[in-house]
Structure formats: structure tokens, C-alpha cells
Structure 1
Amino acid sequence: MMTHLDETQTMLRDSVQAFHERHPGPARTRRLRNEAIPFDRSVWRDMAEAGWSGVMVPESLGGHGLGAAEAMLIACELGRGLAPEPYVASGLMVVQALVPIAADSAPARALLEQVLAGQTLVALAWQEAAGKLAIDDIRMRAVRKGEGWQLEGATKRFVPLADAADGFLVYALEDGNPVLFWITQSAAIRTTRTIDGLDFGEVDFEGLTLPADARLASGPAVRDAVAQAVELARMASAFELVGVAERALEATVAYTSQRVQFGKPIASFQALQHRMVDMWMHCQLARASAENALLDWTRPAGGATCTQSLRAARARAGATALLVGKTSIHLHGGMGIADETDIGLCLKRALALSAWLGNPLWQRGEFLDELMKTGRVRQSDDSPLVVADDVDVAELPDEEFRRVLATWIAANYPPEKRFMKKRAYYADISDWYQALSRKGWLAPSWPKTAGGMGLSATKQVIYAEEIARYGCARIPDHGLAIGKLLLMHGTPEQIDYHLPRVLSGEIMWCQGYSEPNAGSDLASLRTRAERDGDFLVVNGQKTWTTLGPGADWMFALVRTSKVDGAKQRGITFLLIDLKTPGVKVRPIVNLKGEGEFSEVFFDNVRVPVSNVVGRIDDGWSVANSFLREERIFFGTPRQCEYALAQLDRLAEATNALARGDFRDRYAQLVLDVRDLKSAFELFMGRLRGGEELGPEVSYLKVWGTETYQRITDELVQLAGDHGGQIDDVVIGGIAVDVMNQYLDSRMPAIFGGSNEIQRNILAKQILALPSGRA
């Protein structure tokens, strides 16, 4: 919704940005906080004339007849501009409460017209106590008094801009029946100024007698309207918080890029770059979570799923705006605490807005309550689906393809090998490898003409997800990687020789990239290859070679010349037969006591020049063309989901959810995985649209691997006395894989370019932060 704007949404965005130019939010905030009533009616009328409050109102009721997406766009842009006006509270929330009853209530319709015109500022008064944030917590009673009513039993609290309001929409109960009043009579108002310069009111209606025409509507429709209005406000405030966080991040990037210290911009310091990348990642996750809530809001009969999404989005947005706001002040140094700098206004706005309608702690708790009602079962149709052998599964719709694949996997994967605790060599999993090969499903990314499945990018991800979801061991798949690369850059002879042998399982491959002093910094390779006629003579060492002891061939990057300038030049992509004299493979035992990795030494190893892929000295571009396509697979949430399932089991065995401290940490982890999935789906949507993914996809790998570690850290802590046990922890008859998951989680943050390197990439290519070079 926010990524690709249609013409109407673009016009709305431009309208809000033009409003900010006419009425800069920070200047107005500083002016209003010194006034008795912090509200500028002329600015509010300007917003009304733009039609923003009526964006979701049907045209028959005087609105624009647009949708929630447009309203959220406006809220986000107003947050970005730090506009102090209560667009969400006195615009969207009030309007949403009136629209469902306006068709059958002439007074409600008349009031709605006044609100849309900016003539009347209305405050919705519904909440009665701190922490009582559900519509069913209401206790105020309306008792018949002659032709009218008298209000008894409660004070309305946390009413936005109560002292500025021309009247109040008051939610009460008449003999248990929901009723909505429009009250303009005098009431006792006690205001509390909020940190961002606005205020909340405590409005005492006790004993107030109302005329007959004060009642706008009654019945279940009133409850539904007010409840829906509050939920819409929660979603809109999440988008507003996203805008605030993004404003703070942009200001921090700009400030640190021009602030010079020790002769260089402080944004060139890696420690600061990584902190800003983390801020950016949190902003991305908050936006993804908010947009996921918006999608669920617009789906018919969203029910519990929509409620969960709203709680998740509001929790993430509030926590993100606070984190980014705090960090921004710190990175601004002394200027961060100066009132003349707008960054302090970002934190203040985040503090006030995140506390309204339930802070992140409350939202996480409510999210978990909803989750416990419904469970974390997949919502898609998992019923078995079998298709005829002559059906091209690559042409099936994505979800139908998923079901076909899941059905076949369940019928053909060896059940005793589900969720293996070690990385499988070919000998461990040859039966599954051959089953995939016979089916023609071994190489999902290869074209059909080469013996592959010819799957789209999105179906390749679905394939990987379903393999992982069922607990299939990862096959030795470096051969599939080199096969795809040869199809892009190899000679016909290389393709004809190697691809059939990958499909048959005759040749196993490993990857020779990392070296003792060139892990993530592959441009610093020292393994050399000197030309000798029709051969390249290779000397050097590769390390951390996955499944090296079981491999027959290696594809490797070697240095063939030293070129001035970029270190990436002068590197060649080479295919090496590991049976060649001079090759020595030495296993490396990992933390789990397994020989998954190895060192490979080359002593005058003669490799035919015909084994060069692409051109000599141009191997960097060959390797990079493949790595760009594989980024999305690093961000799949399946690994986190499996670890979280283990945590579920251990929490059940230990009754840990009865403890408040664990409960909130658990809710946070569930939301971390949920937001990873939301972000992942956004990238999947871009793939479906035919887009090529850029470097920003790296943050999925960072967030996913670090979330995996946080989950396994919690596993060890929850295991208590069993926390150092190497075997499965068994409590109350429930077996949980603790130590294997914990040790496994240490590795993904290092492989495929360590998370620190990924942060460097994001700092340079996404945030455009300056280099540290003088």
C-alpha cells in the first residue's frame, strides 16, 4: 500500500506534504504548547477542507468514499510531519463512530457533516479507567429522567483535547443496552498536559441531565461502531508512529552525515552506522507489520486474525518509535537534548502516542491472549492435494502448488529422518535425494529443459518453505547452485558434463569461497592460480567449507592477477575436481561435535583452463550474479518458526506462560517472528510482481538469524537445570530440542556474509552513509 501508490494515493500524499510546507508541524507544536488550549482551529479547518477526515466516509454521507489504505497513508504522513492536530482521535475515530449510525439517525448525520466541514471539534469519550481499554469495560449508566436521561456511575478519562472540544460523543449503557450521546452541556473537565504539548481530559458527567435529543442511537450497532472506531484509531496511530520513527531516522542520517568529528563525518563510524541500520530495520518491520494489519482489516470477516494483526502492529510501531526516538537523540549528541532540534519532538510524540489506546506492553499481552484462543495453526488450506503426473506443477496457482508439494512430501519423505539434528551428507539422505530426482523435483530453480522444475521465484520460496516445514533434511545442494550458475555463465561442455551428474547424485559439490583471512571479505582472497599453458596451477587454502569431506568437486574463487583499484578485479571462478593430486581435505569439528565443515588445501593443483566459468579475472561478477538471486532464501522465517515451536513445547511443559516475566518475553518473540513473516511476504509480493530484489533484502537475514538466537537463548533459560544438557530435555513427558537448536543458531548469523557485513551493506547501499576513508 505504501510502497506502490496509485494516482489517488499519490495525490493524497502530495496534499499532506504541501500542508506541511504551509504549516510546519514542529513550529506549530512549539507555539501551541505555550497556549492554554493547544489547538489551532484555523489549521484544523484547513485539514477539513482537504477532506482527510472524510476519506473513508461514503459519498452519500458527504465523504470521498475511499478506503482504509488512504486514511493510513494520511496518518503516516502526518506522523512524519509531526503535525500536532488530533487527526486520528478527532477525525478518523469520531467519524468511524458516527458513520454506521448516520444513515438511520438524522442528528448523527448532521453532526457528521459539521465534523467533516471542520466546524465542530468532537471528542469521543469512552474509556473510564487506566488499563481498561476494551469497549466492554464500560460502566457508565444512562437512567431515564422524564423525557431525557441522567448519567451515573463513571468519569470518562483520557479524552484527547477535551478542553478544546465543542462537545463529546459519550458511550454509555441504558439498561445494559449500548447508547451514544452527543453532549454539549458544561461538564467538569480536568486536563493533563502530555509530553508532546497536547493534553488529555478527565471529564466528569456524573449527575448530568440530558435532553431527549441528546441520544443519537442505541443498540448493538452502537457498540460495534464505537469498538470499530477504537480499533481503527489503533491501526491509524500505528501508521502515525511509523511516520514519526521514519522522520527521526531520516533526521539522524542527515545530521550524522554532515556532523564532522576527527576530520570525518560521524556517520562514517561503523558503530554509528550499525546503530542506524538497526533503526532502519525496526522501521521496516514496523511498516511491514502495519501494512499486514491493514491487509487483514480490508479482508471480509477478519475476526480474531484482524485483532491479532492490529495488536501486533501497534505493539511494534510503539516500541519502534520509542527505540528510534531514543537512539536518535543519542546520535545527535548534545544537539539531541536541545529543544531547537526537532529530534526531541519525535521522541515526545512517540511517548505520547504509544501510550494512547494501550502501550506496547498492553498490546503484546492482548495479542498473546488472542493467540492463545486461536493457536498458531496455519490459516491456509492444508488439505491433501494430489495431481496427475502429467500436470505441470509450475503452472499451478501458488497455494495449490503448496498443497500438492506438501502432500507429496508427506507421502515420500522417510519419516524417521524428519528434523535431523545434523547437516546431512549424501550418504545420510540419498534415498530422499533420489526420490526427488526421480520425480523431477530435485532442482526447483533450473529450467525444465535442463531437468529442473522451472519454478517462478515465489514458487521456489514456497518449495523451500514446505521442505523446511515438514522437517526434511537439507540435501547437499551446492550442486544445484553450481548447476544454475553454469546455466547462466557456463560453456555447453560444462553444462553437458556437470548437470546430469548433479541430478543423478553421482557428483557432490562444495563451495570454496571463505579463506582464513577472507571470510566475508572475499575480495581479499589469497588462494592463487597461475597460468601454465592449458592449466591453472592453484595454491592456497579454503576454510569453513560446508560438507567438504563428502564432496567430489568444488566451485571456488581464486586470484589470478593483482589489479590496481578494486580488489574484486582479478578473481576467477573455477571448478576443481577434488580428486586432483595436491588437494587435501581436513574436517573441522563444529560446536556440536560434527564434521560439517572442512579446510581444503591446494598444493600445485593443476586445473584445466576449460574449468573456468566465465572469463579469467571476471569471477566476481559471476559469483555476484548468483548471490543476488539467493538473498531472499536467507530471510525465510521457517527456521525461527521451528525454534519457536520448540519453545512452545517447553513453555507448556513448564507452565511458563503463567509467569508474567516470561509471558511478555514470549509475546515479544512471537511478534518478532510474525513481523519477520510480514516483511518476508512484502518481498515475496515484489517477486510476484516481477521485481528484482535489491540489497534491502539483507535485513531479513539479519533480523531472522538474530531472532533465531533470541528464541534459543530463551530455550536454554526456560530449561532451567536441564539448560546444559546435550540430549533432548524431557519434562512431563514432553521432549524438547534445546541444545541442538541453541548451537545451531550461532551459525546462520555468520554464514552467507556475517550480520555485521550485512549491516555494512545496508549502511552504504540503503542509507547512503559516507565511507570511513579519509
Structure 2
Amino acid sequence: MTSTLALTRLPPEAQALRAPLRAFLDEALAGMPADRRARSWLGFDAAFSRELGRRGWIGLALPREYGGGGRGQLERFVVAEELLARGAPVSAHWIAERQSAPMILRCGSEAQKRWHVPRICRGESFFAIGMSEPQAGSDLASVRTRATRTADGWRLNGHKIWTTNGAECDHMIALVRTSGEPGDRHRGLSQLLIDLRTPGITVRPIEDLTGDRHFSEVFFDDVQLPHEALLGAEGEGWQQVNAELAYERSGPERIYSSIVLLDTWLAQLRARGDAGEAATALAGRLVAELATLRSLSLAVTTKLAAGENPMNDAVLVKDLGTGFEQNLPIAIAELLDASAAPVSDELARTLAYVTQFAPTFSLRGGTREILRGMIARGLGLR
């Protein structure tokens, strides 16, 4: 794996998006406590997403002919960064805009593009990802959910798990087996675009340690789908899903999941006036690491904007970003435990939430073990 990541400077037209977006967020998020904002891209608020769509801030980098803004990936990066940095509740539209719409535009039929993408851009249609399965773990190629061809289309049976917002979404793009057996690995996999209101689909939310129910199990029992449910070419699902994962693994959400906690802690340090040597050193280290990761994420986005598929680079950024996100609450908690300084209720609640939820950061988008195996293959080490 040779890296060609280069420092990128955001163009003026991208930077110009910050001021109006910040003004909107000042009003929209007024009074929202930090522990709620810390949920950010797992904060589901359909009305908030519709308002973003009305203002043209969803689908900014998608083609105008399909309802998008016709701008670039760097402009979208700025919008995503501002939303995440403030802890805006973006979960409703996030997956649909980040990867579902680009995949439909890349692989879908004209009818699929015309029907789905404009609705995504308006914040009216929300998508889930159907990848993980109970017996497969992070071994994505061993999926057992099967779609069998029928006279009328496809008959789908199987089980997906850890489906983000499965109970809230309208559609799912699922990786399924359309031929062969699990032992065939990458051969025989396809993607289906599924209306989650179709008879035979059961969604069961999963409650996590924080009491939230972001994730779900989704069961398919003899679900009848039309021929048009196939996304792209039959048997090309593995190639398609790997292209999709580059979008999932490279975005700023892979470094900003703990950002509201960091900002809340830094605000308390500022309010005290004298942070102390240990806190100052930790703050400097965390901010420096965040700045480096942001530059890497922006460099990967630049590659995506150029039409490249920077899968290996995205995997590397995701692994490094996950480590930062998970280490941040631990470092802050250890410092606070060693200090006699008082802690505000808001900071305590935010720290508790992020600490409880942080273990999931190294699961979503591929576990650390899977990602490091991919990095090793890219380096020729396995």
C-alpha cells in the first residue's frame, strides 16, 4: 500500500458555507445540553433533517438533475464538519446522503436514481445499511441472507443485525447472497434495495448500555421483492459494497464522535482560568492529534472528489480515528479522577455517555482487527 495522501486546502467557496450554517445551528441547537448533542450522528430527528434538506444542505455534492446541490465533496465536508462539531442530530439522513445516494447514482438504474435520490436530498427518505449478520461478525463475505430469483422478482430470507436506525428508516441497501454458498466468499453476492415496509420484514430495536435504541435486528421471512430491487449487477455486490465502505470509513464522523465531550471539557478549563500543567498538556495533545486526523480525512475526501476509490487510505484513517475517539474519554476521565477540581453536571453526563458508547466506535464500519488485516494486505505483509 503506497499512500499518496496530500495536504488539502479547502477552497473559498467551501469555507463560505460555514457562516450561514453556524448561524442556523446557533438557533436550532440553542439550549440543547452537551450530553444530547454528543449523540450527533446517532441523534435521530426527522424534522431537523427535513429543514436541512429545505435549505439545500443535504446532497450538496450530488448532481442537480437528481435534486442535489451540484457542488463538490469538499463543500460537503465543510457541512458535515460543522454539523458534527456542534453535535447536530443528523442521524436520520446521514447514511442515506453519505453512502446510499452515491451508491444508487453509481450502480442504480435510471428509475432508481430518479425515485430515491431527490427524496434523500429533501430529507424525506432515510436509509439503513444491511451488512452485519449474527453469525458473520465482521466477516462480511460470509453473509447468509439469501435472495432467490422467482418469476416475479426475488424471495428474501435472512437476518441482519446492528442496523443503525432500522426501526426508523424507509429503505435498506442490503448485501445478500443470490447464488452459491457462504463458502464461496465474494462470489455470488449482490445488493438489494429494500422497502422496509414490505410484508415479511420484522424490525426489533436493540437497547444499548446508554438506554438508547439506535440499532436493530431486521428479519426477512419470505419477503417478496420486485426484479427492480436489484441494485447494480447480480454477483457484483462485493465490489459495490467495498466502494460504498470507502464513503463510510473516511468521513469526519470517524474522528468527531467524541468532539462534543472535548469541547465541553475545554469550556470548563477556560471557565476556571488556570487549567494546570497536566490539563494544558492533555488539551494540547488531543487538539494536535485531532488536527492531524482532520487533515488525513480531508485528504481522503479530496481523492473521492477526484473520482478515486481510496479504500486503503480510508481504512487507515478510520482505524486511527477510532483510536482517538475511544482514547479521548479515557484520558479526560483519568485526568479528572486525579484532579480535585469540580466537574459540572453537564460535563459529567457527557463523559458518562461517551464512555459508555465509545466501545462501539471500533465496531461500526469494520472492527479494528478486520481493518488492520486490510492494512497489512495493502502493505504486502499478508
Q: CA deviation at 1:664?
A: 4.5
Of residues 689, 705, 708 in structure 1, which corresponds to 2:322? 705
Q: Looking at CA atoms only, which structure, 1 or 2, has the larger radius of gyration?
A: 1
Q: How does 1:76-225 map to 2 (within 5 A)?
A: none
Q: State the Cα deviation string for residues 565-589 of structure 1 (Å, max 9, x = none).
A: 8611101111222222221111110
State the distance in 2 between where 1:595 and 1:753 align: 20
Letter in 2 for 1:415: A
Counterpart of 1:677? Answer: 294
User: Are 1:520 and 1:753, in contact at CA under 8 Å, matched by a contact in 2?
Assistant: yes
Counterpart of 2:62? Answer: 446
State the distance in 2 between where 1:757 and 1:697 align: 13
Counterpart of 2:14? Answer: 398
Change (3 A) 1:571 1:401: same
Change (3 A) 1:619 1:471: same
State the distance in 2 between where 1:519 and 1:710 align: 24
Change (3 A) 1:408 1:651: closer
Letter in 1 for 2:243: S
User: Are 1:640 and 1:673, in contact at CA under 8 Å, matched by a contact in 2?
Assistant: no
Q: CA deviation at 1:618?
A: 1.8
Counterpart of 2:186? Answer: 568
Change (3 A) 1:585 1:670: same
Change (3 A) 1:416 1:475: farther
1:693 maps to 2:315: no
Q: How does 1:3-14 map to 2 (within 5 A)?
A: none
Q: CA deviation at 1:528?
A: 1.0
Of residues 415, 425, 437 in structure 1, which corresponds to 2:30? 415
Instruction: Name the SS of the counterpart of 1:738 in structure 2.
Output: helix
Change (3 A) 1:479 1:671: closer
1:535 maps to 2:147: no
Of residues 50, 66, 84 in structure 2, which corresponds to 1:468? 84
Q: How does 1:582-597 map to 2 (within 5 A)?
A: 582-597=200-215
State the distance in 1 between where 2:47 and 2:182 align: 50
State the distance in 2 between where 1:759 and 1:534 align: 42
State the distance in 2 between where 1:576 and 1:689 align: 30
Letter in 1 for 2:238: W
User: Are 1:418 and 1:473, in contact at CA under 8 Å, matched by a contact in 2?
Assistant: no
Counterpart of 2:351? Answer: 738
Q: How does 1:43-442 map to 2 (within 5 A)?
A: 397-410=13-26, 413-417=28-32, 419=34, 420=36, 421-422=38-39, 429-442=45-58
User: Are 2:174 and 2:193, in contact at CA under 8 Å, matched by a contact in 1?
Assistant: yes
State the distance in 2 between where 1:524 and 1:567 align: 6
Q: CA deviation at 1:416?
A: 4.0
Instruction: Name the SS of the counterpart of 2:257 in structure 1.
Output: helix
1:508 maps to 2:121: no
Q: CA deviation at 1:745?
A: 2.0
User: Are 1:647 and 1:711, in contact at CA under 8 Å, matched by a contact in 2?
Assistant: no
Letter in 2 for 1:679: L
State the distance in 2 between where 1:432 and 1:416 align: 15
State the distance in 1 between where 2:144 and 2:117 align: 29
Figure out how many residues of one structure are paired with residues of the other and give that number. Answer: 374
Letter in 2 for 1:436: L
1:609 maps to 2:222: no
Instruction: Name the SS of the counterpart of 2:251 in structure 1.
Output: helix
* Higher RCO (C-alpha under 8 Å, 6+ residues apart): 2
Letter in 2 for 1:554: M
Counterpart of 1:755? Answer: 368
Q: CA deviation at 1:508?
A: 2.8
1:555 maps to 2:173: yes
Instruction: Name the SS of the counterpart of 1:761 in structure 2.
Output: helix
Letter in 1 for 2:63: P
User: Are 1:446 and 1:454, in contact at CA under 8 Å, matched by a contact in 2?
Assistant: yes
Change (3 A) 1:423 1:514: farther
Change (3 A) 1:746 1:567: same
Change (3 A) 1:695 1:566: farther
User: Are 1:582 and 1:603, in contact at CA under 8 Å, matched by a contact in 2?
Assistant: yes
User: Are 1:424 and 1:474, in contact at CA under 8 Å, matched by a contact in 2?
Assistant: yes
Counterpart of 2:198? Answer: 580
State the distance in 1 between where 2:59 and 2:162 align: 25
User: Are 2:39 and 2:87, in contact at CA under 8 Å, matched by a contact in 1?
Assistant: no
State the distance in 2 between where 1:525 and 1:565 align: 10
State the distance in 2 between where 1:713 and 1:623 align: 33
Counterpart of 1:149? Answer: none
Change (3 A) 1:650 1:741: farther
Q: CA deviation at 1:659?
A: 5.5
Q: CA deviation at 1:507?
A: 3.7
User: Are 1:422 and 1:594, in contact at CA under 8 Å, matched by a contact in 2?
Assistant: no
Change (3 A) 1:748 1:721: same
Instruction: Name the SS of the counterpart of 1:550 in structure 2.
Output: coil
Task: Tell me the C-alpha RMSD between the 2 structures.
Answer: 3.5
Q: CA deviation at 1:491?
A: 1.4
Letter in 1 for 2:285: Q
Q: CA deviation at 1:526?
A: 0.5
Q: State the Cα deviation string for residues 268-317 of structure 1 (Å, max 9, x = none).
A: xxxxxxxxxxxxxxxx9xxx9xx99xx9xxxxxxxxxxxxxxxxxxxxxx
State the distance in 2 between where 1:733 and 1:484 align: 41
Q: CA deviation at 1:490?
A: 1.2
Q: State the Cα deviation string for residues 372-407 of structure 1 (Å, max 9, x = none).
A: xxxxxxxx9xxxxxxxxxxxxxx9633223334434
Q: CA deviation at 1:433?
A: 1.7
Counterpart of 1:36? Answer: none
Give % identity: 29
User: Are 1:536 and 1:609, in contact at CA under 8 Å, matched by a contact in 2?
Assistant: yes
Q: State the Cα deviation string for residues 446-478 of structure 1 (Å, max 9, x = none).
A: 211111112212222111111112331123123
Change (3 A) 1:684 1:403: farther
Change (3 A) 1:721 1:584: farther
Letter in 2 for 1:704: G
Shifted more, 692-701 versus 590-599: the winner is 692-701
Instruction: Name the SS of the counterpart of 1:600 in structure 2.
Output: strand
Instruction: Name the SS of the counterpart of 1:473 in structure 2.
Output: coil
Instruction: Name the SS of the counterpart of 1:545 in structure 2.
Output: strand
Instruction: Name the SS of the counterpart of 1:748 in structure 2.
Output: helix
State the distance in 2 between where 1:416 and 1:721 align: 31
Q: State the Cα deviation string for residues 697-726 of structure 1 (Å, max 9, x = none).
A: 32221122111211101233344399xxxx
Change (3 A) 1:663 1:506: closer
**TM-score using structure 1 length:** 0.44
Instruction: Name the SS of the counterpart of 2:361 in structure 1.
Output: coil
Q: What stretches of structure 2 of length at least 5 have no aligned partner?
A: none
State the distance in 2 between where 1:655 and 1:610 align: 62
State the distance in 1 between where 2:319 and 2:41 align: 25
State the distance in 1 between where 2:119 and 2:129 align: 17
Change (3 A) 1:678 1:450: closer
Q: CA deviation at 1:663?
A: 5.3
State the distance in 1 between where 2:381 and 2:330 align: 33
User: Are 2:148 and 2:178, in contact at CA under 8 Å, matched by a contact in 1?
Assistant: yes
